[in-house]
Structures are given as C-alpha cells and as structure tokens.
Homo-oligomer: A and B are copies of this chain.
Amino acid sequence: GEDILKEERAQSHLPVQKISEFLFTKTVLERKYKILKILEAEQVFDKSQNYFAGRVDKFETALARAKRLAQLRFKHAWTEEEFRMATDLISEPGPYGLHDSMFLITCRDQGSDAQQSMYYERAAKYEIIGCYAQTELGHGSNVRGLETTATWNPDKKNFILHSPHLTASKWWIGSLGRTANHAVVMAQLILNGKSLGPHPFVVQIRDMESHEPLPNVHVGDIGPKFGYNTMDNGFLLFNNLEIPHESMLARYSGVDPKTNKYIRPASASLVYGTLTFIRSNIVMQAGSVLARGVTIATRYCAIRRQFQDKDAPAGSVGESPVLNYTMVQIRLLPLLAATFALHFTGKSMMDLYNENKKRMGEKATAGDAKRGPGPEEINAGSDLLADLHATSCGLKSLASITAAEGLEVCRRACGGHGYSSFSGIGPWYADYLPTVSWEGDSYMLTQQVARYLLKSARSVLKGEKPTNDTTQILSTYLSRADMGAAFDVLGSDEDLVAAFAWRAAYLTFEALKHRDEHKKAWNDLLVDFFRLSKAHSQYLIVKNFYDALHRSETAAELDPETIAVLYKLFRLYALHTLETEASEFYTSSAVTVRQIQLARSTMVMKLLQEIRPHAVRLVDSWDFPDWQLDSSLGRFDGKVYEDLFHRASEQNPLNGITIDPYPNNGILFKSNQSAAYKSKL
C-alpha cells in the first residue's frame, strides 16, 4: 500500500496544504495539531478497544474520557473553538455531550441575569451537570403536543411538574440516563387551568452528593441504540414534583409571582435564530462527515487491486486498482465533489447567519409581545432571516441525507473489508445517523421549505418586487416561462446554475397551482413538497459552490490549475445531480433529452477520468489525522493490510479465548484470557 499511495500522490501536483488552508484557514489547522498532540499523549483516549466493548464498558470508557477532557480544558485554558476541536478529534459522543451544548446554551440564552449566574456559571464549571429534556416517548416532532405539565401553584408560589401518562415520559434525552443532576425540562405551562404551551424549566433531578434520583423523580437510561452507545440517552418521569419559581427560565417569558399573571414572550425570530444556527452547522458538518468516508474509501480503492482490465493487451500483468473502474468512480467521485459543495454552502450560510445576527443587534427581552403561533409559521421581521430560515430547513434535510447515505456508499465501495469495524466507516455512520431525524426530521422539514416557497411565489405573482434570491429566481422564471429556456448546461457554468434555478422555480409554481388553483389537500402534496425542497436545496448548493470558486479571494489564494480542478468538481456535482434528477429537468424544459444523454454518457464520464488522478490529493486536503480517522483502510501511509492484520491479531480480545467446539460438551470456553486485551482507563 505504501508505494501505491506515493505514486498516486506523484500523479498530481495539487498543493494539498494550500487547499486545506483555503478550506479551513491556517489558524484552524494549527489549532488542530496543537490539540491532537495533547490528546494523543493521554492513555485514556486510546481508541484500540472502542469496537469491542459492550454497552456498560463503552459507557465507562466514555465517562473517563469526558472527565479527562474537561480537566484538560481547564488545564490548558482552551477556548470554545479549541474544546470543539478536541471533541471533533475524539469523534465520539460522550456523557457530557448535552451538558456542554444544549444545557449551557439554553441556560445562557433563556435565563434571566440572576439565572445565568445560578445555572450557567455553575454549569460551565461542571458544578452542576445538565441535559436538555424536550422529547417525550409520545412526542418528538410535534413539540406543542408535549404532555409533561408545569402547573403554577399560586398558594405556594411554585410549580408542580407532572407526567400524566407513560407517553409523557421524557425520552432520548442525551446525558440524562446516568450522568446529569439537572435538566432543562420543556413542559406545558398551566396557569389558572389554562395551558400556555411548552416552556423551559431548570430542574434538579439527582442528589448532588449521592447522585441518587430525588424523590418523585423516575430517571434512567433508555437502552442500546444503533450507534451513540457511549452516550446515556435517558428517560424521566415526574410525580407531582414541586419546583421553585426561579426554575422557569425567564428571559423571554415568565409568571409574575405577585399577580400570578403570564408575562408574554418576545419576538419568535430569536428562537428561529438558534434553530437556524444549529441547522447551518449541520450543513457545514455534513461536508466533513462525508469527507471522512470519502477519504477512507478513496485511499483504499487506490490501493485495492482486483482483476485485470478486460481490454488490457494480451500478456500484460498485474491487477487494476479498483478506483480505476468507472463503476467505482461513479460512486465515489460525485461524493468527493459533494464534500466540497456542502462545505462551501455551509460556510456561506454561517456567514449570512453571523451577518444577520449583527444586523439584528442586541437581544430582545421578555414583554415584546410579537410571538407568532409557533415554529411552523414564519412571522419574521426581516426577509433575509425568513429566507435563511427556510433555506436552512431544506439544506439540513438534503445535507444530512446526502452525508448519511453517502457514507454507506463509501462503505460498500470498499467491498468486504468495508464491513469490518476497522474500516472506520460503519461506526462513524452509525453515530451520525440520528442527524437525519433530529433538529427537524429531514422528511418533515421539507414542508416548511415548501410553505415558504409557496408564500414567495404568491408574492411574486402579485407583482411584488423581489427582495431576496428566492423571489428573484421566481420572478425571472415567470418573466420567461412562456418563451422557454435554452440553457447551455454543458458549455456554460452560469447556465448550469441557471438551469437549477429554473427547475426549482418551475416546481414551485407547479406546487402552487396544485394548492391554490386545484385546491389539493396539504397532505396530498407532501411528496411534491419533498421534491420541491430537494430541488431548491440542490440549486442553492450548486450556486454556493459556483460562487465560492468565482470569488476574487479564491483566485488570490489558489493557483489557476487548482481552481480548474475545483471547477471540475463543481461540474461533476452539478451534472451528476442533473442526470440523476433528469426527469424534473426535462419536464421543466430546462434542458433537452439530448443534453441529458450527453451529460450522462459523455460529460460525467469525462469528468470522472479527469478528476481521477487528483483523487488522493483531494482527499488529503481534507486533512484528517490518522488518529481521528481510526481506520485501517484509510491510513495516510497506505499500510492497509498490515494494519488490518495487526488489529485482528494483536488487539482482538476474542483471540484470548479457546472454545470447546462440540455440541454435546457443556463447556463453552476452555480458557479465557480476553481480559488481557482490555485497555486500562
């Protein structure tokens, strides 16, 4: 394997280091290696037994790691970015996961000033350990259907938390099962017998000393999962638990203890802000999540040799690297292109988000009575925010599905060895998978995109002037719908982007016709909405990828040859998507059947061939340290077989046992030395 990767790298002159810096900046890369050095030196982060342990052992190791990581954080006075980098490198959900994220964020953003010092500051020092308890056994997506109640007791001036049914049990709550002693609990606020919808309460659930559950609190771990087994997702039931007035997080809304009256919340747009941020983050991450799989599969398929080429001249010897087979290329290289496409799209969303946040200025506070009817109905102040919110829903959906399904494509491309845990793809995939379901189920979220696009289309039809990119492409389409389009998708990159805009606009107006003219039921349109959202999101990705390459900064940072290769990746992503979704492009008259045939049989095949020599360097530029990948197949040095063999024979506790093989002998293990393989915590 070693020589092979050297040759692969010699085939291409792409400046790997430069591309990495272009993707991540030099600062971030330096940060990575600084942190990596610290982690590698710690025995507790040794990964060699990760894939062998049962649930309890897995969790124990993860707890040890989480504790050590928190210590290192203080010891080295890490910034937030440095801490995130460390968790990225460890690449494993840990028992403090939800404490470090949602619990802290919620206490900080939704707590009053007094609550911030009471909860946030102590939590930041790990004096209290928290989690974020929203989902219940019976309700996840439909947050307004939550059953846990927090009833205001005007006599005692406190709340009574209660779980009226089994289905009201909190469920799936990360860090709750065994670890947290506090929880942010989302519960229906009941005031004078009336429900005012879900509100956040900070609740102590376990004793600070004994760590045993408090009276009237029933809490535990929900059991093993497809992945995420290093995390203790938990359940939580309350039996009329009394909690003080200060438990209710009161920055935006509250109960006035004197009047027993409700204090109305501020504008809903702030809530969207957090959701939009989280979703933009998921889009950005999707690129690098997928890039891990693509890195592993590309390196391995360059090394793996199997069969001679059918058309090889008689007498030639040696087998072909499977990466030379077009059937392997067509699976991997469009995904390689997608990693860049997602990265640039996520980056530009984050930029937009930050810009917008600056524009919005300081936080609003409670009393600002402009809250809309709930997260599904957008009632946003700024058009940019509405656009970004809708955009982030559709892109979250597409990006998470692309990354999840793409990882499995990478795994299969590795043939049998892809199935070994040592490939590093399977376990990574299993841990990533919930991203498709959480932060808005990726199938449901598409309804929000459609609702927004329909609304935009109605405004364009009414003749309102375009105020953002979405209304812009819709009105461009309208103005030319009668004349038709003639996009030169094979010859012009701009036309290629325009064809994606055209198809998205076409589908938007089709959906609008169904809903507004034919009066179709909402439910009968969900499948069309899913398609529409996907089409719009694919347009955004293609556009963002193109814009990123087109900027002057790019020409300043990278040489023309490198940029030319990146343009090829752009075209591969766009044309491969175009031919996969051919029938929509054709039906919308964005392209002709002939163009689709040419894209499929000529252009895409040619791009595969042209990108092939650069494949290894392109994945190198994603710059994953071996320690992070933890993969025999994806090693930088190509020592694939040696590493598979080493792990199997030297690190595999099953080889510590000798069995009795005969059915009639009651004895199972004649001897068992498997414990000797277990790493020390």
Q: Footprint of B on A, CB under 8 Å?
A: 51-60, 63-64, 66-68, 70-71, 95, 126-127, 129, 135, 137-142, 145, 166-167, 169, 171-172, 177-181, 206, 210-212, 220-228, 232, 235, 305-307, 309-311, 319, 324-328, 330-331, 408, 411-412, 415-416, 418-422, 426-427, 430, 433-434, 436-438, 441, 443-444, 446, 521-530, 579, 582-583, 586-587, 593, 596-597, 601, 605, 641-642, 644-645, 647-649, 651-665, 668-670, 672, 674, 681
Contact = CB atoms under 8 A, between A and B. Distances in A.
Contact of A140 (B412, B416, B681): B416
Task: Name which of A55, A225, A525, A654 has the most chain B CB atoms within 10 A of its CB.
Answer: A654
A656 to B, nearest CB: 8
A601 B415 contact: no
Contacts of A437: 412, 415-416, 418-419
Contacts of A415: 140-141, 437, 441
Given A222-B648, A223-B651, 10 more contacts: A67-B665, A129-B662, A141-B306, A142-B319, A166-B642, A178-B654, A226-B426, A228-B419, A583-B583, A586-B593
Contact of A142 (B172, B307, B527): B307
A329 to B, nearest CB: 9
30 contacts: A52-B55, A52-B224, A54-B58, A59-B654, A135-B416, A138-B305, A138-B641, A140-B306, A166-B645, A171-B416, A177-B655, A211-B661, A220-B652, A221-B654, A222-B420, A223-B422, A223-B648, A225-B420, A226-B419, A226-B420, A226-B427, A235-B645, A311-B521, A326-B523, A327-B444, A330-B527, A412-B437, A416-B437, A583-B596, A586-B593
| Residue of A138, A222, A223, A664 with highest tally of chain B CB at under 10 A | A223
Contacts of A232: 654
B71 A327 contact: no
Top 8 A-B pairs, shortest CB-CB distance: A54-B54, A70-B663, A226-B426, A582-B583, A310-B522, A327-B526, A51-B224, A221-B654
Contacts of A222: 420, 644, 648, 652
A436 B421 contact: no
Contacts of A408: 408
B138 A661 contact: no
Nearest to A632: B223
Contact of A644 (B129, B137, B225, B421): B137
Given A55-B52, A658-B212, A661-B179, A523 B221 contact: no
A181 B416 CA distance: 24
Q: Which of A129, A145, A587, A663 has the most CB of B within 10 A?
A: A663
Contact of A416 (B95, B311, B438): B438
B145 A64 contact: no
Residue with the greatest number of chain B CB neighbours at <10 A, chosen from A138, A232, A309, A662 = A662
A654 B55 contact: yes
Contacts of A310: 521-523
Given A582-B583, A583-B596, A605-B527, A663 B67 contact: yes
B419 A670 contact: no
A453 to B, nearest CB: 16
A378 B420 CA distance: 33
A430 B226 CA distance: 9
B416 A221 contact: no
A145 B307 contact: yes
Contact of A223 (B68, B331, B427, B652): B652
Given A55-B654, A648-B220, A653-B56, A71 B664 contact: yes
B211 A670 contact: yes
Contact of A221 (B135, B226, B411, B652): B652
Contact of A601 (B418, B433, B528): B528
A167 B306 CA distance: 12
A586 to B, nearest CB: 7
B527 A326 contact: yes
A251 B324 CA distance: 39
Contact of A55 (B441, B653, B681): B653
A419 to B, nearest CB: 5
A412 B179 CA distance: 28
A514 to B, nearest CB: 8
Contacts of A658: 178, 210-212
Contacts of A662: 67, 126-127, 129
Contacts of A55: 51-54, 653-654
Nearest to A649: B220
Contacts of A64: 668
Given A583-B586, A654-B178, A421 B645 contact: no
A57 B55 CA distance: 11
Given A145-B306, A235-B649, A648-B220, A211 B659 contact: yes
Contacts of A68: 663
Nearest to A178: B659
Nearest to A443: B327
Contacts of A526: 325-327
A626 B250 CA distance: 48
A401 to B, nearest CB: 9
Nearest to A418: B437
A322 to B, nearest CB: 9
A393 to B, nearest CB: 14
Contacts of A655: 177-178, 220-221
A398 to B, nearest CB: 14
A311 B583 contact: no
Given A523-B310, A649-B235, A56 B654 contact: yes
A402 to B, nearest CB: 14
Max chain B Cβ within 10 angstroms of own Cβ: one of A138, A222, A331: A222
B139 A306 contact: yes
A287 B146 CA distance: 38
Contacts of A138: 305, 641
A311 B582 CA distance: 33
B527 A327 contact: yes
A527 to B, nearest CB: 5
B129 A523 contact: no
